[in-house]
Each structure stands twice: as C-alpha cells, then as structure tokens.
C-alpha cells in the first residue's frame, strides 16, 4: 500500500507543483523516485517528527500541499501538540501519512503499534481521516488528497497487501463507503484498513452470508449512504485493527445514533464491533499473530 500511495503521489506531483513530501528518515526504496524526480520538493527531516510537523505547517502557509510520512505512531502520537496547534487549528493544507497501521510492525513491540491514533486524529476538528484497504484504494486516496485543501490523516498498511477490489482504478469520493459485494441477507460487514483482505477470505471460506463494504474514510462518513445501508441491513458488524474506543465502530454508532435521534432512521440496527478490546498487547510477533491474540477474527455467530 505504501508503494502504491507514493507512486501515485509521484504521478500527481508531475502536474501539481504544490505537492511537497517530507519524510522522517525512512521510506528507503519507496520515496527515492520522488526525491530524485523532485529534489526541490522533498525533504528528509530526520528522526525529528515534531520539527517535521512544524516545517510542514510553514510550507503549507507558503502555499504548498505538504505530505509528511513516517511509521504510524511517530507522525501522530509523538507530535500531537504540533498537529493540533500548528496545523489542525487553521485547517492547514497538510496530509499526515502514516505507514504501518495497526500491528503492521508487530514484531517491534508496543512502541511501534498504531492502534489508538484513528480515535485521536478524528477528534481533531476539520481533520479528514482516511484508511484505505488495498493498493487500489491507496492510489485513489493519494489522488483525492493531492486535490483536497485541508488537513488529512492517511493510514496505510506496510507492504505486500493484496488487491481486494476487482477494479483497482475506481476513484473514491470523500466520505463514501466502497461496496465490494451486496447481499440479500440482513447482514452488513463494514471494514476499514488492510484487514479487509483477511475478512473477505474468511467470509468466503466459511460461507458467511453478508454484504461487504470498505470504509476508506472514517471521517467524514456519508450520512445518507450509511442511513440507507442501515435501513437495508439491520445487522451490522464492524471490523478494524484499532482500539474499540473511538475507532470505526464508534464512528458508525455515532452517525446512526444521530440519524435515529433526528428521525431519519426509524429502527436502530444491531451493531457488533470487532476491535482491540481496551488493552495494550504486551508481546511481539507477526501482524497475523497480533491480530489473532487480539480477537480480530470473524466468526459465523457474528452474523444472523
């Protein structure tokens, strides 16, 4: 996903001279093509994410659309104050690109896990939160972010993710859910991030009857589309590689609750959240191992 994103960002930079990329001393073998093609619009800020964020804020003030890129926990948790005060406060044109979402760097231990940052980022006013599920969605988010004026958080996987959607060049619309398959059943599975591939494999292997939608944008979420889906599918399961608090499941429930209170939704659907259950995982291992011990697995009993 990270390679797909950077490759598309490079294509966007060919026709958009405002795009500027700053990295936190990583991304080798991924960002070099951008560096070599646009040396005047590339900066390695070193292992100094707070400074990187401040530099990005200044460049955005000068008219650039700035992308800052680092391992997921570093450009978010380490420099939250700078994001809040220097960028989000004035809705600066900065895109925070986090590679290694969830347990992608599981073998490096808790310090490199990124399982809280979606909740933190989506509480910041005006912050768009994007979480593409496969390389095609990553490219689409790169295109959208290159055109978007404002602050975004973009959560990517690490490397080697498989293409899930059959048409990888489909564009994405801000806030819209991305349909993979419909169903005649009352069940709807909503997934964000690169755990989608595993979820789809499980659904098909276990012959689970459900519609499947990717949620490439956790903020905003299209209210009209979500209400229409809730009216059609009264049993919703959400799956995310993130803490249950303030993640995808929380965002879905909040939107549905508001719609119900406003009379736009006549019956409140049953919503089951599958996420990390309020704990730090104090062991190290592969991403799959970390997902398994965190209970991020679909079961037949999750669906009606």
What is the tens place of the pLDDT at every residue in 94-147? 999 999 999 988 888 888 899 999 999 999 999 999 999 999 999 999 999 999
Backbone phi, psi, residue 164, to 5°: -100, -45
Do 139 and 186 lie in a common domain? no
| Contact by Cβ (8 Å): 87, 79 | no
Residue 161 lies in a domain: no
Residue at which a domain ends, from 122, 156, 190: 156
User: How many CA within 13 A on the CB side of residue 260?
Assistant: 12
pLDDT higher than 80, residue 263: yes
143 and 226, same domain (yes or no)? no
Taken as a whole, the chain contains a residue count of 304
Whether residues 9 and 137 share a domain: the answer is: yes
- Beta-sheet strands, E only, within the chain: 19-23, 42-44, 65-71, 94-99, 128-130, 152-156, 178-181, 187-191, 211-214, 217-219, 235-243, 270-276
Q: Is the pLDDT of residue 20 over 90?
A: yes
pLDDT digits (tens, 9 = 90+) for 282-293: 889 999 999 999
Looking at the structure of the chain, the number of domains it has is 2
- 130: in domain: yes
Give residue 181's pLDDT band: very low, low, confident or very high (50, 70, 90).
very high
Structure confidence by residue, pLDDT tens digits, 204-242: 999 999 999 999 999 999 999 999 999 999 999 999 999
Rounded-to-integer distance, Cα 254 and Cα 247, Å: 11
Query: pLDDT, tens digit, for every residue of 76-87?
Result: 999 999 999 999
Residue 113: CATH number of its domain: 3.40.50.970
Confidence of residue 41 (pLDDT cuts 50, 70, 90): very high
Question: Do 141 and 223 reside in the same domain of the chain?
Answer: no
pLDDT at 26: 83
Cis peptide upstream of residue 168 (ω within 30 degrees of 0): no
Same domain, yes or no, for 192 and 92?
no
Residue 27 pLDDT greater than 80, yes or no: no
Mean pLDDT on 152-176: 93
Same domain for 259 and 189:
yes
DSSP string, 161-192: PPP-SS-TT----TT--EEEE--SSSEEEEE-
Same domain, 151 and 275: no
Instruction: Supply the pLDDT for residue 33.
Output: 93
Backbone angles phi, psi at 189, to 5 degrees: -105, 120
- Report CA dihedral (290, 291, 292, 296) to the nearest 10 degrees: 150
* Owning domain of residue 104: 2-156
Whether 210 is covered by a domain: the verdict is yes
Q: What is the pLDDT of residue 287?
A: 92
pLDDT for res 255: 97
Share of residues in the chain with pLDDT > 70 (%): 100
Both 115 and 213 in one domain: the answer is no
List beta partners, residue 152: 95, 128
My answer on whether 43 and 118 are in the same domain is yes
Q: Is residue 171 part of a domain?
A: no
Q: What is the pLDDT of residue 245?
A: 94
Taking the C-alpha atoms of residue 153 and residue 302, their distance in angstroms, rounded to an integer, is 30
Is residue 164 in a domain? no
The DSSP call for residue 269 is P
Instruction: Please choose, from the candidates 169, 148, 129, the residue with its C-alpha nearest in 3D space to the C-alpha of residue 250.
Output: 129
Question: Which of these three, 125, 156, 187, is where a domain ends?
Answer: 156
The enclosing domain of 241 has a CATH number of: 3.40.50.920
Whether residue 204 lies inside any domain: the answer is yes
User: What is the pLDDT at residue 285?
Assistant: 93
Same domain, 22 and 92: yes
Q: What angle do CA 49, 51, 54 make, to 5 degrees?
A: 110
34 belongs to a structural domain = yes
- Alpha-carbon distance of 102 to 109, in angstroms, equals 12
Same domain, 8 and 150: yes
Domain boundary (124, 156, 188) is at 156
**150 within domain boundaries:** yes
Asked whether residue 195 falls in the same domain as residue 107, the answer is no
What is the token pair recorded at 140? Answer: 């689409």
Average pLDDT over the chain, rounded to an integer: 95
Long-range contacts of 277-281 (CB under 8 A, 24+ apart): 277/244, 278/243, 278/244, 278/245, 280/110, 280/113, 281/103, 281/110, 281/113
């Amino acid at each position: 996903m990270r390679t797909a994103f950077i490759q598309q960002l490079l294509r966007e930079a060919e026709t958009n001279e405002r795009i500027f990329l700053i990295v936190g001393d990583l991304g080798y073998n991924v960002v070099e093509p951008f560096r070599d093609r646009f040396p005047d619009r590339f900066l390695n800020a070193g292992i100094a994410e707070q400074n990187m964020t401040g530099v990005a804020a200044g460049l955005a003030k000068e008219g650039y659309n700035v992308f800052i890129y680092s391992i997921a926990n570093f450009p978010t948790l380490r420099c939250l104050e700078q994001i809040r005060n220097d960028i989000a406060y004035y809705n600066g044109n900065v895109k925070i690109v986090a590679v290694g979402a969830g347990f992608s760097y599981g073998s490096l231990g808790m310090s490199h896990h990124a399982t809280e940052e979606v909740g933190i980022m989506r509480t910041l006013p005006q912050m768009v939160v994007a979480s593409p599920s496969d390389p095609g969605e990553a490219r689409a988010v790169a295109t959208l972010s290159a055109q978007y004026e404002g602050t975004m958080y973009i959560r990517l996987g690490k490397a080697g993710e498989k293409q899930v959607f059959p048409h990888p060049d489909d564009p994405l619309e801000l806030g819209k859910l991305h349909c993979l398959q419909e169903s005649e059943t009352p069940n709807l599975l909503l997934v964000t991030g690169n755990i989608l591939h595993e979820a789809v494999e499980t659904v098909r292997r276990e012959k689970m009857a459900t519609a499947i939608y990717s949620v490439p944008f956790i903020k905003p979420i299209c209210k009209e589309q979500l209400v229409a889906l809730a009216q059609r599918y009264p049993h919703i399961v959400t799956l995310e590689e993130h803490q249950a608090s303030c993640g995808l499941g929380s965002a879905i429930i909040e939107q549905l609750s508001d719609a119900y209170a406003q009379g736009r939704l006549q019956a409140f659907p049953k919503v089951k959240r599958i996420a990390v259950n309020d704990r730090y995982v104090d062991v190290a291992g592969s991403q799959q191992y970390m997902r398994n011990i965190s209970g991020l697995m679909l079961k037949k009993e999750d669906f009606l």
